[in-house]
Homo-oligomer: A and B are copies of this chain.
Amino acid sequence: MTTQVFSGERRVDVLDPRDRGLAYGDGVFETILVHHGAPVWWDAHLARLQRGCDVLGIAAPDPGFLRVEAEVLIAGCMRGVLKLILTRGIGERGYTPPSDTPTTTVLMLSDAPSPPPRDGLVLRWCDTQLAIQPRLAGIKHLNRLEQVLARGEWNDASIHEGLQCDTAGRVVSATSASLFALRDGRWLTPPVADCGIAGICRAWILGNVVEACEVVLTRAQVESADVLILCNAVRGILPVAVLGERRWSLHPRALALRDLLATSEKAFEKYPPEDA
């Protein structure tokens, strides 16, 4: 993994232990697919980063600065993942947000994830529920203990992901991907007004697939769906094969959705590598 750390626009290389990202999770992040030396869905990632900064009251860095430094880091990378962490910067003890501290930016380039399973993902339900917090819902902030606890519920490598409900029992998402359920011909995904993250690939589907919309989903509705897919900005669209006792075979509608994405975004053309 290659890493760069900036205080404001100044390269500092090390993270100060007084950084409020460490102290309080006081910041946001993006996880961006890199394909042929370019960041995929850059504008959408930057827009979500900006929304997160607005919610937290953090002055976002200049987008041009972020783009230039990202391009330096990912130059020559054929396929990888760029993680961008942005924090409020260094603070003294106490919650009071400092007024004029430079923000901290961390850029990390790592390998692309291993290919998804050819036959679809195996999912489980997680016991860890997501708290309802409209003030923080939708943004990709650094307070992620609920996802850490959920992902820690299993270490069986044959299970790829876990679904989480909120504390009111409504289905929200997988620990690191959005969820769509095909029911009555429509692609349904839970709203993110109370908890969860407004996923980039999720937004792409909502914006490009006429029959996709936000709907509250129960566990029973998810389990009885005709098709399930997970999606995120790094792995694109991932059909689901198993959820607990329920099994699905690869469905033409899931493959059509994946093909639509591949047609629209070159980075997903050859992926997932069933075609390889």
Contact = CB atoms under 8 A, between A and B. Distances in A.
Interface of A: 1, 3, 5, 14-26, 29, 31, 56-57, 81, 83, 85, 87, 92-97, 106, 108, 110, 128-129, 131-133, 135-136, 141-152, 167, 175-176
Nearest to A111: B93
B15 A16 contact: yes
B24 A95 contact: no
Number of copies: 2
B22 A15 contact: yes
A136 B145 contact: yes
Given A132-B132, A135-B129, A167-B133, A24 B142 contact: yes
Contacts of A20: 148
A269 to B, nearest CB: 23
A135 B149 contact: yes
Given A25-B142, A95-B176, A142-B145, 7 more contacts: A23-B85, A23-B142, A26-B144, A83-B93, A128-B135, A133-B167, A143-B144
Contact of A106 (B17, B128, B148): B17
Given A81-B93, A97-B151, A145 B106 contact: no
Given A95-B176, A106-B17, A144-B23, A133 B135 contact: no
Nearest 3 pairs of A and B residues by beta carbon: A25-B25, A131-B131, A143-B143
A163 to B, nearest CB: 14
A108 B95 CA distance: 16
